[in-house]
Structure 1
Amino acid sequence: MTTRPPSAAQAIRDSRLLAILRGPDVDRLADVAEVLVSQGIRALEFPIARPEVLSVVTKIANRLGDTAWLGAGTVRNVADAQRAIDAGAAFLVAPSMSMEVVDYARERGIGFVPGVFTPSEIDAATQAGAEVVKLFPASSHSPRFIRQLLPPLPDAGIMPTGTITREDAREWLDAGAVALGVGSDLVGDSMRTGDYDAARTSAREWLKIVADTV
Structure 2
Amino acid sequence: MKKEQVLSKMKKDCLVAVVRAKNLEQGEKVVDAIIAGGINFIEITMTMDEGNPIEFIAKMSEKYKSNEDVVIGAGTVLDPETARAAILAGANYVVSPGLNVDTIKLCNRYRVPMLPGVMTPTEAITALEAGCDIIKIFPGNIMGPSAISSFKGPLPQGDFMPSGGVDVDNVDKWIKAGAYAVGTGSSLTQGAKTGDFAAITAKAKEFVEAVAAARK
Please show how residues 63-74 of structure 1 align to structure 2 within 5 Å.
63-65=63-65, 66-74=68-76
Equivalent position amino acid for 2:59 in 1: K
What count of residue pairs does the alignment treat as equivalent? 211
1:17 aligns with 2:18: no
- Is 3-12 or 124-133 further displaced after alignment? 3-12
Structure-1 separation of matches of 2:130 and 2:195: 40
The alignment's TM-score, normalised by the length of structure 2, stands at 0.88
Q: Which residue of 2 aligns with 1:192?
A: 193
Q: How far, CA to CA, are the matches of 2:40 and 2:130 in structure 1?
A: 24
- Report how far residue 207 of structure 1 moved: 0.6
Cα-to-partner distance string for 1:103-144 (whole Å, 9 max, x where unaligned)? 111111222111111112222223433222111111221222
Instruction: Look up the equivalent residue of 1:149 and give its one-letter code.
Output: F
Give the residue type in structure 1 aligned to 2:25: D
Deviation at residue 14 of structure 1 after TM alignment: 1.4
Secondary structure of 1:7's counterpart equals: helix
Return structure 1 stretches of 4+ with deviation > 6 angstroms: none
Out of 34, 39, 44, the position equivalent to 1:41 is 39
Indicate the RMSD between aligned Cα atoms, in angstroms.
Answer: 2.1
Query: Which of 182, 185, 189 is matched with 1:183 structurally?
Result: 185
Matches within 5 A, 1:21-100: 21-50=19-48, 52-65=52-65, 66-100=68-102
Shift of 1:5: 9.7
Distance 1:129 1:163 in 2: 27
Structure 1: stretches of 5+ with no match in the other structure: none
8 Å Cα contact 1:138-1:162 kept in structure 2:
yes
Residue 11 of structure 1 contacts residue 42 of structure 1 at CA under 8 Å; is this kept in 2? no
Name the SS of the counterpart of 2:43 in structure 1.
strand
- Residue range with higher mean Cα deviation, 204-213 or 161-170: 161-170
In the alignment, structure 2 segments of 5+ residues that lack a partner are none
Distance 1:67 1:171, change over 3 A: closer
Structure 2 CA distance for partners of 1:68 and 1:5, relative to 1, 3 Å? farther
Q: Give the % identical residues.
A: 27
**Deviation (angstroms), 1:170:** 1.4
Q: Which residue of 2 aligns with 1:212?
A: 213
Matches of 1:175 and 1:13 in 2, distance apart? Answer: 14
2:39, 2:204 within 8 Å by CA — same for their partners in 1?
yes
TM-score, normalised to structure 1, is 0.89
* Contact 1:94 1:113 (8 Å CA) reproduced: yes
Q: Output aligned runs, 1:129-148, within 5 Å.
A: 129-148=131-150
